[in-house]
Structures are given as structure tokens and as C-alpha cells.
Amino acid sequence: MKFLRFVSSLFFLVFMEQVLACASCGCSLNADWGTQGLSTQAGWSLDLRYDYLNQNQLWSGTNKISPVVAASSINTQTNANAEVEKYTKSQTITATIDYNNGESWGVSLLVPYLSRDHLTLGTDSPDGVTPGSSAYSSQASGVGDIRLIGRYYGFSEQKNFGVQLGLKMPTGQTSQLANDGSTVVDPGLQLGTGTTDIILGVYYHNNWSDDWGYFGQALYQRALNSSNMAGGSYRPGDGLNINAGVRYENYDWIKPTLQVNTRIVNTDSGVAADSYATGGTLVYLTPGAIFPVSERTTIYSNIQIPIYQNVNGIQLTPSFIFSVGARISF
């Protein structure tokens, strides 16, 4: 009953805040062993995770649309034709170094390395197939925005309720040009946002029985400043991740898992921001598995399948997101 009340309060928070999510926000998977209740061991750990995200479906509202429809649509921000994007392929390797004192607090440093390819037909494609004069392609690789997140869980003897506080730092590139060497890549496609963000979270985990465990988490992120991109100000929308999941622990060699991941973000703002094609809500159903290799090493894999998508304007969305990772404790 405690878990049901907790999850209900999280979803109540979502709809009361009425915030929106952009489709380019990426993966919302929870791979944090501490918030899932998988580890309370004192000491250091290293987690390496690979995420593959291919946004190749044009989506408007709750419906998939064709390139022809997109080419004939009007961008209400500019009163010109809407942009017709082909794809955005992102591959991310995230290294997480974590320290846990085993009693009441821990801290994680997350360093992402991204490789991103993008192709757009521009805002003046005549039929959604032929490139317009504003068409471009881009490719970039490098370190993204680094996050430092602390947690405190010394509220009870069970140590299964905690709060999180952290910062996202502006370490990712924000001045990328397209492959033609002159076109400035959109702010939402840069490796970083150029902003310093505060991160606030709350989580709870417990067991129903010896065989079943569960967790719930809400994580809120807000930019504390605006950056300067493409000759104008840019501020990413406030974000909210809500995750809930269960795992089955009766097998020695595998722990099947199931998560529901909701990614929510406000529309981007600023002179350089795209306020037409940001905003919406994405919900994923995420089956996965954890494979204990040894006492200190674990491999895990998940696939996120969208079950609800509601986006503003016209955006690219994925058909799935694939993740695989390994965690080593020291």
C-alpha cells in the first residue's frame, strides 16, 4: 500500500505540474542501483552504459504523420513551413563513478560521451522527400554535459527512502556547425545545453516478498541560466523523469525487470529556441534483465518501447531505445 500511495503521488505531481516533454530528450531509463534498492554496499563502483536512440518517425500530437503532411504544415512560431526532419541517431556511453558510505549518503559522477548524426530536409522541402535550400546534415562526437548527484537516505533504519540533489554542468559542445561548415546546428542537437542545471529527486524502494522487489523515483531538472547559441539566448525546458519498476529475484543467474519510464519537459525558451517543435509527453514500457556475473560484477540490458507519445508541433520520435551496461563494485 505504501508503494501504491507513493506512485499515485508521483503521477498526481505530473498532472498538477502540467509540464511537457520534447521528443529529443532521449533516454529516461533508471539504471541507478541505489534508487532501485539493488545495492547498499559501502565503497566505490563503476558503471558503463551504452544507449542507442534512433529518432526516425515524424510525430505530431499523438499521431504519426507522413513527410508529405509535415511539408505542408505551418510552423506557428514562424508562420512559415514546418521543418521536415529525416532522422537523429544518438549513441551514448555513460560512465558513472559512485561512492556510497553504506550508512546514510552517496554521490555519483556521470560522464556521457555522445555520437550524434542528424539529417533534415529543411523548412522548404516541396514534398517532404526533396531537400530544400535549408537542408543540412550534421555529425558530432564528444563529451556531453556532466552531472554530479548526491543522495541522502538516512531517514529510517530500512534506508529505503532517499532524496537527491545535484548539478548538471555545461561541459558539452554548444557551437557545432553542420557538415557544410557554415550552418549552425539547432540548440537541441548540440552535445550540451550551455546551462548549469539543478537536479532534485526523491525515491523509494522495498520488497513485496523474498522474490519481488520494487522502486519508484521522481527526478526534476531546471536550468539556472540561459546560454547563447546560434546568435540568441537559449534555455532548455524544465524536465521531470518519473520511473517505477519491479524485479523478480528467485533465479540465481538472471533477475527479470520491468519499468515504466515517463519523460516530461517544458517547451524550450529563448530567441534561439524552437518553441514550436518542443514539448510533449513520452511514456515507455521497459522490459529488461540483470545478470550477476560475479559477486562484484553485474551486466544488465533494457529495451524501452514507447506506449504513449504526445508532442507539440512536429518532432522525431523513436520506435525503441536499447541499453546495455555493466557495473563493477570495488
CB atoms within 10 A of CB 292: 15
Q: What is the mean pLDDT of residues 200-218?
A: 94
Q: Give dist(CA 303, CA 292) in Å, integer.
A: 19
pLDDT tens figures, 266-296? 999 999 999 999 988 999 999 999 999 998 9
- Determine if residue 43 is left, alpha or beta; phi over 0 gives left, psi from -120 to 50 gives alpha, anything else beta: left
Of the candidates 243, 291, 299, the residue with the CA atom closest to the CA atom of residue 27 = 243
DSSP state of 129: S
Helix (H) or strand (E) holding 238: none
Q: Give dist(CA 60, CA 80) in Å, integer.
A: 17
- Which CATH number belongs to the domain containing residue 78 in this structure? 2.40.128.130
Instruction: Let me know if 159 is exposed, middle or buried by CB neighbors in 10 A (0-12, 13-18, 19+).
Output: middle
pLDDT tens figures, 137-149? 999 999 999 999 9
Q: Give dist(CA 165, CA 144) in Å, integer.
A: 20
Provide Rg for the chain, Cα atoms: 20
Q: Which domain holds residue 83?
A: 2-329
Q: Give dist(CA 150, CA 181) in Å, integer.
A: 40
Examine the pLDDT at 22 and tell me if it is beyond 50.
no
Spatial contact of 319 and 296, defined as CB atoms under 8 Å apart: no
Q: What is the mean pLDDT of residues 85-99?
A: 96
pLDDT value, residue 8: 41
* C-alpha cell of residue 164: 537527491
Q: Give dist(CA 246, CA 226) in Å, integer.
A: 38
Q: Give dist(CA 204, CA 160) in Å, integer.
A: 6
Examine the pLDDT at 7 and tell me if it is beyond 70.
no
CB atoms within 10 A of CB 39: 18
Tell me how many domains the chain contains: 1
| Mean per-residue pLDDT of the chain | 89
